[in-house]
């Protein structure tokens, strides 16, 4: 596909500005900000512009077009009703600096969403302010630091499992702690013995993902949270995989003190490509005073924003968070209700286990004896060993068949990992088609491995030199550039 500059021909135009009287621009703009040369813009017709961007849209892959089996990302179909509701003029036309009395409906919605999320997670209070999951993690770690600091010792270490999401140790470091790894056992679960070896009074918290990134439920989680609490530490839940727990069990019932939510994964906001996201953070009662400000408070049916929380960690986001994401989550929760949310988790678990069984003979699975939750991980090590075909080759070949690739090479504890999450919104027919495609690819690996080594073959962009693309990215088009 040509880029727009390659369609450019001198003299073409899509529209014409009306004539305006000449004026001295230097009266309005300082000389240092005035262009010396005209900008390099493509010269194309309106028809070419329309067709170019429509072609780009048709080349883009998105969840309305097909299956997105990305593990740990919960890329599920989201009801269009919630998109329509979030576009209501009463929501889109308000401004964060309006007087509180003019945005009572928005404040009420946010407060009620806080209460709904608190109930879902078994927490005592929630702040909607963090902008995404990693921002919620950082808020949680700053709460951990403030809690221990006010007790007289901020402590030094935060423990994370070796299967943790990559943002966990980053959030720990940003909060001023040292991240230390706790190993998994042969079942793919947190090793309680290794946890015990690492627990001491310098440990501020243990960050846990449950279900973990192998898609397995941490069956000893209550013992784990008790052990951490015995040393005075806090236990944090990375809520990226909350889709598997909805309506079945509450994190608060498992002993978690802090949890972040991914509204853009679990509660009906399409995500990817950088946003928008929302990562509310929930806490147990003794930690509520540390939540970000402003907090929404209600008195006799009137809502206002309060900064009167002297123990707060402060602000985590400009104004109050990504409001329209909250609208979608609020609508989704109310429409689904308690039973509907539980059905989400049950169907996600059913779909994942169905898919895991169907492809079980094609790949190695070091944890096949344990049923998974909403996602699972298999290894393509057998194909690499027999035919020299890597997991990356499989992922690239899936694109030729019209499927988005699953997450690959994560978690790091599984060699040649394929991490697959079908979500609750995919049909049996879609899952069966995905299975048949994987069967074809495995057959191709045996008969013609070069076909996979050079995949994809029929996508707008072919196989890239990914190392070169990362080290020397081309971020700006220039004349006479070759591609």
Domain assignment present for residue 62? The answer is no
Indicate if 109 and 226 belong to the same structural domain.
Answer: yes
What's the pLDDT score for residue 272?
63
Length of the chain: 483
Burial class (CB in 10 A: 0-12, 13-18, 19+), 382: middle
Q: Is the pLDDT assigned to residue 188 strictly greater than 70? A: yes
pLDDT for 368 equals 85
Q: Are the C-beta atoms of 248 and 342 separated by less than 8 Å?
A: yes
The answer on 308 and 194 residing in a single domain is yes
Residue 483 has pLDDT above 60, yes or no: no
Distance (Å) of CA 263 to CA 49, 157, 240, 296, 326: 35, 29, 9, 19, 7
Q: Which of 244, 209, 220 is closest to 353 using CA atoms?
A: 244
What the block records as the tokens of 349 is: 């678990």
Q: Is the pLDDT reported for residue 323 higher than 80?
A: yes
Q: Are residues 325 and 460 in the same domain?
A: no
| Domain count for the chain | 3
Q: What is the pLDDT of residue 273?
A: 58
104: its two tokens: 């009572």
Same domain, yes or no, for 324 and 402?
no
Q: Are residues 295 and 372 in the same domain?
A: no
138 domain-assigned: yes
**Mean of the per-residue pLDDT values of the chain:** 93
- Name residue, tokens 């509310």: 280
One domain for residues 105 and 162:
yes
Is position 63 within any domain?
no
Q: Is the pLDDT of residue 155 over 60?
A: yes
Q: By C-alpha distance, which of 378, 367, 410, 409 is closest to 163?
A: 410
| Residue 165 CB burial class (10 angstroms; 0-12, 13-18, ≥19) | buried
Alpha-helix runs per DSSP H in 151-275: 167-174, 192-198, 221-230, 263-266
- In a domain, residue 185? The reply is yes
CATH number of the domain at 454, please.
3.90.1150.10
Token couple for 255 = 């002993």
Neighbours of 109 (CB within 10 A): 20
Last residue of one domain, picked from the residues 310, 336, 362: 336
Residue 208 belongs to domain spanning: 80-336
Strand partners, 203: 157
- Quick check: helix, strand or coil at residue 214? coil
Structure confidence at residue 84 (pLDDT): 93
pLDDT at 16: 82
Kindly indicate the confidence band of residue 275, based on its pLDDT and cuts at 50, 70 and 90: low
Instruction: Report whether pLDDT(338) > 80.
Output: yes
Residue 258, H or E segment = strand 258-261
Same-domain check for residues 317 and 347: no
Predicted pLDDT of residue 203: 98
| 363 or 275, which is more confident | 363
In tens, the pLDDT along 65-103 reads 899 999 988 999 989 999 999 999 999 999 989 999 999
Average pLDDT over residues 171-190: 96
Q: Are residues 145 and 156 in the same domain?
A: yes
Q: Which pLDDT value is given to residue 213? A: 94
In this structure, the answer to whether residues 350 and 414 fall within a common structural domain is: yes
| DSSP bridge partners of 376 | 420
Asked whether residue 480 is domain-assigned, the answer is no
Domain annotation covers residue 75: no
* Residue 16, both tokens: 């014409």
- CB 72, CB 265: distance < 8 Å: no
If one counts every other C-beta atom within 10 angstroms of the C-beta of residue 148, the result is 19
**What pLDDT shows up at residue 22?**
83
331 and 344 part of one domain? no
Residue 18 is given by DSSP the state P
Phi, psi of 258 (to 5 degrees): -140, 140
- The yes-or-no verdict on residue 2 having pLDDT over 90 is no
Report the CATH number at residue 132.
3.40.640.10
Q: Is 8 helix (H, G, I), strand (E, B) or coil?
A: coil
Q: Return the pLDDT at 216.
A: 97
CB 249 within 8 A of CB 349: no
What is the three-class DSSP state of 179? strand
**Inter-residue contact 284 to 124 (CB < 8 Å):** yes
Instruction: Report if residue 348 sits inside a domain.
Output: yes
- Whether 271 has a pLDDT exceeding 80, the answer reads no
Considering only CA atoms, which of 427, 362, 409 is closest in space to residue 67?
427
106 and 211 assigned to the same domain: yes
- How many helices (DSSP H) and strands (DSSP E) are in the chain? 15, 12
- Provide DSSP, 364-381: B-TTTTS--SS-EEEE-H
- Report if residue 476 sits inside a domain: no
DSSP label of 420? E
Report DSSP state, residue 14.
Answer: S
Going by pLDDT thresholds of 50, 70 and 90, the confidence category of residue 27 is confident
Select from 238, 160, 166, 146 the least CA-distant residue to 198. 160
% of the chain surpassing 90 pLDDT: 78
**Predicted confidence band at 1 (pLDDT cuts at 50, 70, 90)?**
low
pLDDT by residue (tens digit) across 469-478?
A: 889 888 776 6
421 contacts 69 by C-beta, under 8 angstroms: yes
Predicted confidence band of residue 26 (pLDDT cuts 50, 70, 90)? confident
The rounded distance, in Å, linking the Cα atoms of 91 and 103 is: 9
- Per-residue pLDDT of 108-153, as tens digits, reads 999 999 999 999 999 999 999 999 999 999 999 999 999 999 999 9
Cα dihedral 382, 388, 391, 395 sign: negative
Closest CA to 205 of 245, 178, 174: 178
* Residue showing tokens 């990562």: 279
Query: Are 139 and 215 in a shared domain?
Result: yes
């Amino acid at each position: 596909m040509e880029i727009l500059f390659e369609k450019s021909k001198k003299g073409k135009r899509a529209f014409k500005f009306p004539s305006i009287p000449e004026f001295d621009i230097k009266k309005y703009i300082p000389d240092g900000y005035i262009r010396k040369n005209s900008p390099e813009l493509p010269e194309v017709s309106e028809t070419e512009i329309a067709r170019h961007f429509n072609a780009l849209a048709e080349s883009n892959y998105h969840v309305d077009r097909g299956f997105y089996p990305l593990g740990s990302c919960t890329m599920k179909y989201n009801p269009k009703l919630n998109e329509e509701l979030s576009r209501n003029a009463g929501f889109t036309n308000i401004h964060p600096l309006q007087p509180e009395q003019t945005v009572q409906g928005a404040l009420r919605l946010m407060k009620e969403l806080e209460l709904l999320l608190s109930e879902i997670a078994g927490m005592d209070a929630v702040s909607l302010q963090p902008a995404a999951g990693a921002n919620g993690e950082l808020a949680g770690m700053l709460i951990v630091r403030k809690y221990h600091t006010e007790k007289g010792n901020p402590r030094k270490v935060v423990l994370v499992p070796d299967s943790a999401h990559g943002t966990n140790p980053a959030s720990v470091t940003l909060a001023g702690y040292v991240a230390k790894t706790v190993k998994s056992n042969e079942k793919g679960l947190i090793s309680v013995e290794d946890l015990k070896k690492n627990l001491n009074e310098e440990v501020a918290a243990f960050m846990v993902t449950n279900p973990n990134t192998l898609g397995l439920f941490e069956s000893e989680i209550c013992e784990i949270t008790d052990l951490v609490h015995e040393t005075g530490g806090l236990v944090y839940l990375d809520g990226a995989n909350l889709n598997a727990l909805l309506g079945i069990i509450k994190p608060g019932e498992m002993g978690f003190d802090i949890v972040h939510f991914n509204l853009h994964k679990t509660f009906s906001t399409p995500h990817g490509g950088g946003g928008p996201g929302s990562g509310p953070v929930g806490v147990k009662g003794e930690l509520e005073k540390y939540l970000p400000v402003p907090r929404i408070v209600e008195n006799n049916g009137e809502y206002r924003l309060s900064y009167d929380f002297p123990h707060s960690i402060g602000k985590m986001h400009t104004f109050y968070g990504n409001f329209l994401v909250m609208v979608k989550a609020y609508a989704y929760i109310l429409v689904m209700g308690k039973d509907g949310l539980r059905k989400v988790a049950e169907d996600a678990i059913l779909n994942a286990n169905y898919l895991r069984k169907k492809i079980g003979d094609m790949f190695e699975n070091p944890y096949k004896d344990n049923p998974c939750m909403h996602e699972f991980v298999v290894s393509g090590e057998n194909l690499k060993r027999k035919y020299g075909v890597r997991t990356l080759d499989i992922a690239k070949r899936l694109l030729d068949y019209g499927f988005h690739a699953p997450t690959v090479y994560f978690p790091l504890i599984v060699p040649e990992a394929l991490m697959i999450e079908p979500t609750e919104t995919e049909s049996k027919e879609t899952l069966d088609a995905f299975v048949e495609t994987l069967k074809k690819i495995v057959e191709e690996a045996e008969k013609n491995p070069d076909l996979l080594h050079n995949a994809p073959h029929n996508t707008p962009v072919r196989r890239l030199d990914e190392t070169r693309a990362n080290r020397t990215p081309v971020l700006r088009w220039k004349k006479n550039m070759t591609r």
